[in-house]
A = this chain, B = another copy of it.
Amino acid sequence: MLRVALLGAGRIGQVHAKSMTATTASRLVAVADVNAEAAQDLAARIGAEACSVDQIIADPSIDAVLIATSTDTHSDLITRATAAGKAVLCEKPVDLSLDRALATLKAAEATGQPVMIGFNRRFDPSFKALKAAFDGGEIGRGELLSITSFDPAPPPVSYIKVSGGLFRDMMIHDFDMACWIFGGAPATVSAQGAALVDPAIGDAGDVDTAVVTLVWDDGRMAVIRNSRRAGYGYDQRVEVLGSGGLLSANNMLENTVEKITTDGAVSAKPLHFFLERYMRAYEDEWTAFLDAVTTGAAMPVTLREGVAALACAEAATRSLKTGATVAITPDMLG
């Protein structure tokens, strides 16, 4: 059984704490947070100890850490934890700065320690089934990938301001999905976007609605649609057109009830948000991390892949500004 620690006791940290305590393959022994009270509360609830980050990193009995702190601390914590000989599962994105993420990649790879980035959607049962069918050649060669990713409501503008922007904060998931499904990284990125949901988001220099097209070297394309506000819930769909057919993974609904009256047929909305939709994915993500650490197998999502998603976000940001297609160059991928 691996002895593990959780860095970050906020909302997403608490989500992870559930998975970390549900399995018998790891024992969550320590929790750290800049807010000491939050760490103590969570630690008490799950029978762990509240510690400082320094204590955890210095503790040789701790095998692995899950980093769920604010994004600006990720690079530093990955670097320090791997240097201390620990396996790392770090929340997305790696960093808001591609340069810093590249430096972190270099440092972490030098330690030989396994690092996984928390792209939870790869562990969603439907997306996994789509990926397996696609890799199994069920629709032939991939041609056109489409990813829809709409949130039910935008975060506060205060969050938007420090988020790194829609491409680094939200679409980063979809960049990873696209690279995961098609393999490698795209050659070019073209972005269009606007603040249609809330002008305050535009005033903060960000967009809340965007369409980004990725093109691979061999011409395959992926188009990603993001909105910060779908209203009806969390809209998470993936569709791949291949030479032999179409694969799609659709939303999960709140229930299977349908009502037909003179007003038409009414069925349930999609599951509300990421906690509802991806609860199972978070659990499977943690298990997959433990499995890889224990067996020494390759990480299911590598730090290098986390950097590639960030490179897409960087390119999209530039494309949106210039109105031109931006190339992803090898130096952006580390």
Contacts and interface: CB of A to CB of B under 8 A. Distances in A.
A12 interface: no
Contact of A225 (B146, B150, B219): B146
Given A249-B257, A256-B126, A211 B223 contact: yes
Given A209-B144, A231-B244, A246-B230, A268 B257 contact: no
Contacts of A243: 196-197, 229, 231
Interface string A295-334: 0000000000000000000000000000111000000000
A179 interface: no
Contacts of A80: none
A129 interface: yes
Interface stretch (A35-43, A60-68, A168-176, A258-266): A258-266
Give the oligomeric copy count. 4
Contacts of A215: 192, 194
Contacts of A220: 194, 196
Contacts of A225: 144, 146, 223
Contacts of A252: 256
Contact of A323 (B126, B246, B324): B324
A250 interface: yes
A248 B244 CA distance: 25
Nearest to A131: B257
Given A223-B225, A324-B323, A247 B258 contact: yes
